[in-house]
Amino acid sequence: MSWLKQLSNQWQKNKLQRAQLAPMFEPPIKDQWVAIDCEMTGLNPRKHHLLSVAAIHINGDTIDTGNGLHLVCRPPVMPDRDTIIIHGLRSADVAQGLSYDEMLSMLLPFISNRPIVGFCPQLDIAFLNPLIKQYMGTTLPNEVLDVRRLYSQRMGERDPNTPKASQQLSKILAHYNIPEFGSHDAYNDALMTAMAFLHVR
């Protein structure tokens, strides 16, 4: 961890409102990550809402599928019919879901100080961070790794920081002969992302 990242973490830690989450700011253990994926009512964090989040530990070359999280949340606005077709979560499903605080009380200790692995995770983080800041006083301090960008680097793209739009998760899975389990389900997407990460890291 660079001194700049350490300084940033210390600054964030000073804003922490929940002492039990202090381990999130410690240096991560080598070869431990957490793959995450979220389902939302739309793609705009300012007007759409988080519906579910899944997280799976990756330890070395092993994906710990037996201890993953798949948390359905109760949003302030119920999903409409158009988006139900995409994520499969009906109003009846999410109405019995966890509050955002209940979800974070389980998710954040599970993430702890592990680097976060995702496929285009910037969108997931954009939905999570406002909730996390309200819950613990600061945003996620974790390093975030984008499987899509790592794949670009592995493929020798001229500028790996701007991956091609064609590099969808399904294409990366096909490249490595990884089976697809069905997309737009947070747990399935987190699992497939974890499997792809083991090939591109």
Query: What CA–CA distance (Å, rounded) separates 182 from 176?
Result: 17
pLDDT tens column, 110-138 = 999 999 999 999 999 999 999 999 999 99
Check whether 84 has a pLDDT greater than 60: no
Q: What is the pLDDT of residue 160?
A: 59
Q: What is the pLDDT of residue 7?
A: 74
pLDDT tens column, 88-110 = 666 777 788 999 999 999 999 99
Which pTM value belongs to this model?
A: 0.89
Q: What is the pLDDT of residue 88?
A: 62
Give the three-state DSSP class for 173. Answer: helix
Q: In the chain, what are the domains?
A: 29-200 (3.30.420.10)
Check whether 173 has a pLDDT greater than 70: yes
User: In which residue are the tokens 């253990």 written?
Assistant: 29
Q: What is the pLDDT of residue 6?
A: 73
Per-residue pLDDT, averaged over 137-156, amounts to 93
Q: How confident is the model at residue 81 (pLDDT cuts 50, 70, 90)?
A: low
In order, the DSSP letters of 103-144 are HHHHHHHHHTTPPEEESSHHHHHHHHHHHHHHHHSS---S-E
Give the three-state DSSP class for 186. Answer: helix
Per-residue pLDDT, averaged over 10-34, amounts to 93
Q: How confident is the model at residue 181 (pLDDT cuts 50, 70, 90)?
A: confident
Give the three-state DSSP class for 165. Answer: coil
